[in-house]
Amino acid sequence: MSETALERQAETDRKAIVNAYRGLVRASYPHTHKAERRDIRRAFEYALEAHEGARRKSGEPYILHPIAVAKIVAKEIGLGATSIICALMHDVVEDTFVELSDITREFGKEVATIIDGLTKISGVFDHKSSAQAENFRKMLLTLSDDLRVILIKLADRLHNMRTLEFMKRESQLKIASETIYLYAPLANRLGLQSIKSELEDLSLRYMNPGMFQEIDHKLQKFQKESRYYIQKFTKNVRDQLKAAGLKFHILQRYKSIYSIYSKMMRQDIHFEEVYDLFAIRIILDTSVENEKLECLRVFSILTEHYKYNPERYRDWLTLPKANGYEALHVTVMGPRGRWIECQIRSERMDRVAERGVAAHWKYKESGQLHEGNFVKWLGRIRDLLENPSLNAIEVVKEFKTNLVTDEIFAFTPKGDLVRLPQNSTVLDFAYEIHTNIGHQCIGAKVNNKVVPLKYTLQNGDQVEIINSKKQKPKEEWLQYARTSKAKNRIKEHIRKQRREVIQNGRKIFDWKIRNYEFDTNTITRELLAFFNLPNESEFFFLLGSHKLDNAKLGEFIDLKKEGHKIPVQGGRLQRKRLASRAEFESWLQRHKGVDSDALMIGQDMEVSDYQFAACCQPIKGDDIIGIFNPNQGVEIHRVNCKTAVRLMSNFGRNILKAKWTELHSITFLAGIKIHGTDRQGMMGDLIKVMSSKMKLNIRSITIDSPDEMFEGVFKVFVKSTDELQELKRRLKAVPGVLGVSRLQEIEENQS
């Protein structure tokens, strides 16, 4: 650059910095007094000097990042001067010549301790693959000392997510998956609603851009189309509440893109089927003594004018959520039969809902927390961290499944309290009590009503498990279990059963060929090619469970008896573990495409040393990625697989782009969910489509037919997503079938 260009650049930078800093000062005004604002200015100047000359990936001066983080801390979390000062200097010790002792001298012990915590979190980055998990564990350690560290860290993460577009694709995926896996749930657990929501939306934008755009577009269209309707409904409610003499204001809320997305995934529905895209929030201006009573009054006024749905009534006044959330949610039917959710809460409850832990917390006096719920929660985190038998990855997993999710409380018939993650079912409750009670569960009485084992429990339910000695855990239960405890117990049991079936299959096979001298080295490969199956345990499993075509097996044995050679093309996936990073790097070089840096899947299958992940079972044609996991080698996952998201957040450096190449005789296991109205011969018709018409091997069938309805999960082997599409198309054409969809996850991964 020429001298004048440099000067111009310096002038632009200076203006941007001054503007950003003014914005911060405005945001911190309500929470600070004059002397504190002098300290904030001092911290700003200190950081400005330390980061002098440094730039972010976007090209802008580095200092704009800490200013933005400090502004989030002040404006969106509502913290005071100490936190703002620490946010301004959060990267100073890590990235510049400044040392912690300098900070102590200039700003005192309290600020230095928080910055030390922030530095420790991101400071260490060794070459172990679990570095991310290790970092996260460190963050939890600092969390139990001073919660401000984690709140500033969340602000830092939020700003990094807002500026993620400047990063490489692999880094985007890594950072976005960490965010969705750990930071967003953490924000939720701390009660920071809007930050949680924004983190989720931003993650989705980078992890699944197509889906994000689609939902965003449809939501905007919906907002345009429904504006008049919503205004009218809101006006009516306002008039009704005013007539009762209440003081309040009403906000209109649209569901976030990520919430819509996860509802679509969870319930396997289209955007158009999400009924609660819109809600109104009624916020009452009232005293703490009267707030509950007034919320209930609003409820009674609403239900006087509108029909309401008792199944969608949520009372978080009596039993607040674990993150402190209090409100009354009621869904009423507006004009033209449209359901509208109304969230009723007081100003105080609203503050708690938006600011969460920060609303309770006397952050100005000390880093200590006095709010009972959070204190207990921090205690449980401390227990987890002090458990010597868990490694970093296990700590993170445990934290994720049991400490960071919303919780509900259910009761035994005797009134003992059982704590469960939100969306837990009767089955989870049963396993929580005892493994055998889980294994033999056939249903329960919830509040004296008989319900099936997949019934989702609500806060405050009283649950009496119904057992039967004849009951055994089934594969489909994995879809109903929510807690890791229940899932692990069910999986252990199923694995044991499957092993027995495979052994039985082997025995049958050995017996069938006992009189011939076949070459045992080649026969399995020939078998797999002949039956079009991916591996031998699958073959023996089908044989052992009497699902293999016996006539075809006879045909095979006849061919072999007559000395025929059966053509083998690839077919067998042999897994070789890549133990070290170096081995992995050299392996990767060999498997990359000639003109792309993606891992080519399907090349050289005979000696392939990657495996398809058991959880999401990719099929040729799926959008996939590879993840190198030192314990498991390279695993190929579908991009939207939940386990992959978890792995990416633990092994961020090991994400590999992957592409399909031509495959030969490999088939893939796909799970298909079918629902419809039940009728005579339905099963037979479905099986006919799969086996006689399309000639697919079926691995398993599970059927549930409550009332007149029919719900089944079929696991079949297909060659590609094209073949799967064809299968779905044909199944949909069967009379009585209402919906056919592919399962997102077949079984959860063990790792």
Exposed e or buried b per residue across 654-663, where buried means at least 16 C-beta atoms within 10 angstroms of its C-beta = bbbbbebeeb
- Considering beta carbons, is residue 156 or 609 the nearer one to Mn ion? 156
- Considering beta carbons, is residue 91 or 198 the nearer one to Mn ion? 91
CB 156 within 8 A of CB 77: no
Contact flag: residue 745 with Mn ion (CB under 5 A): no
Contact flag: residue 291 with Mn ion (CB under 5 A): no
Contact flag: residue 63 with Mn ion (CB under 5 A): no
Interface mask toward Mn ion for 673-712; x: CB under 5 A? ----------------------------------------
d(CA 551, CA 3): 85
Residue 28: closest CA among 88, 89, 86, 73: 73
CB 469 within 8 A of CB 440: yes
Minimal distance in Å, beta carbon 395 to Mn ion?
24
Minimal distance in Å, beta carbon 175 to Mn ion?
12
Minimal distance in Å, beta carbon 631 to Mn ion?
31
Read off the amino acid at residue 588. L
Minimal distance in Å, beta carbon 502 to Mn ion?
52
Contact flag: residue 635 with Mn ion (CB under 5 A): no
- By CB under 5 A, what part of segment 381-420 binds Mn ion? none
Residues 6+ apart with CB under 8 A from 396: 133, 136, 137, 182, 650
Minimal distance in Å, beta carbon 123 to Mn ion?
12
Strand partners, 397: none
Contact flag: residue 153 with Mn ion (CB under 5 A): no
The piece of 31-39, 155-163, 399-407, 714-722 that touches Mn ion (CB under 5 A) is: 155-163
Figure out which of the listed residues 32, 77, 91, 92 binds Mn ion, where binding follows CB under 5 A: 91
End-to-end CA distance of the chain: 52
- Considering beta carbons, is residue 175 or 274 the nearer one to Mn ion? 175
Minimal distance in Å, beta carbon 221 to Mn ion?
37
Minimal distance in Å, beta carbon 91 to Mn ion?
5
Contact flag: residue 201 with Mn ion (CB under 5 A): no
Minimal distance in Å, beta carbon 155 to Mn ion?
9
d(CA 160, CA 74): 17
The piece of 18-26, 27-35, 154-162, 198-206 that touches Mn ion (CB under 5 A) is: 154-162
Minimal distance in Å, beta carbon 158 to Mn ion?
10
Where do we find the tokens 């329960």? Answer: 444
The count of chain residues that interact with Mn ion, using the rule CB under 5 A, is: 2
The piece of 84-92, 268-276, 478-486, 733-741 that touches Mn ion (CB under 5 A) is: 84-92
Contact flag: residue 135 with Mn ion (CB under 5 A): no
The piece of 42-50, 83-91, 309-317, 644-652 that touches Mn ion (CB under 5 A) is: 83-91
Distance of CA 38 to the CA centre of its chain: 43
Contact flag: residue 115 with Mn ion (CB under 5 A): no
Residue 730: closest CA among 695, 705, 702, 699: 695
**CA-based angle 168:173:174, to the nearest 5?**
100
Query: CA separation (Å) from 46 to 28, 41, 421, 597?
Result: 18, 9, 45, 43
- Considering beta carbons, is residue 91 or 609 the nearer one to Mn ion? 91
- Considering beta carbons, is residue 153 or 646 the nearer one to Mn ion? 153
- By CB under 5 A, what part of segment 318-377 binds Mn ion? none
d(CA 191, CA 323): 5
CB 409 within 8 A of CB 418: yes
CB 344 within 8 A of CB 299: yes
- Considering beta carbons, is residue 156 or 748 the nearer one to Mn ion? 156
The piece of 148-156, 586-594, 602-610, 634-642 that touches Mn ion (CB under 5 A) is: 148-156
Burial of 617 (0-12, 13-18, 19+ CB in 10 A): buried
Burial of 388 (0-12, 13-18, 19+ CB in 10 A): exposed
- Considering beta carbons, is residue 116 or 635 the nearer one to Mn ion? 116
Using CB positions, name the residue nearest to Mn ion: 156
Minimal distance in Å, beta carbon 256 to Mn ion?
25
Contact flag: residue 156 with Mn ion (CB under 5 A): yes
- Considering beta carbons, is residue 156 or 201 the nearer one to Mn ion? 156
Burial of 267 (0-12, 13-18, 19+ CB in 10 A): exposed
Residues 6+ apart with CB under 8 A from 693: 730
Exposed e or buried b per residue across 536-567, where buried means at least 16 C-beta atoms within 10 angstroms of its C-beta = bbbbbbbbbbeebeeeebeebbeebeeeeeee
Minimal distance in Å, beta carbon 122 to Mn ion?
7
Contact flag: residue 723 with Mn ion (CB under 5 A): no
- Considering beta carbons, is residue 157 or 397 the nearer one to Mn ion? 157
* Pair of tokens at residue 345: 């809460």
Interface mask toward Mn ion for 418-437; x: CB under 5 A? --------------------
Contact flag: residue 200 with Mn ion (CB under 5 A): no
* Pair of tokens at residue 618: 């990719």
- Considering beta carbons, is residue 91 or 635 the nearer one to Mn ion? 91
d(CA 18, CA 467): 69
> Which positions touch Mn ion (CB under 5 A)?
91, 156
